[in-house]
């Protein structure tokens, strides 16, 4: 999932470079959402891993 977030950020940078502001804004929004989902799932996984060990 982190890979997809990075891909969308790269798409946003390229779109902004060529002047497509709307597409860049959309790609940044999607990238932010994917990164937040990744961060939440990573945190949940970390906490569950700690609780199972002891």
**pLDDT tens, position by position, 6-47:** 998 999 999 999 999 898 999 999 999 999 999 999 999 999
More confident residue, 1 or 37: 37
| Whole-structure pTM value | 0.78
Distance (Å, whole) CA 1 – CA 34: 7
Q: What's the CA dihedral at 50, 51, 52, 54 to 10 degrees?
A: 90
* C-beta of residue 35 within 8 angstroms of C-beta of residue 5: yes
Domain extent, residue 26, equals: 2-53
Domain count for the chain: 1
């Amino acid at each position: 999932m982190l890979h997809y977030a990075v891909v969308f950020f790269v798409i946003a940078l390229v779109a902004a470079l060529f002047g497509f502001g709307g597409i860049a804004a959309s790609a940044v929004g999607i990238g932010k959402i994917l990164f937040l989902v990744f961060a939440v799932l990573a945190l949940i996984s970390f906490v569950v891993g700690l609780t199972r060990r002891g």
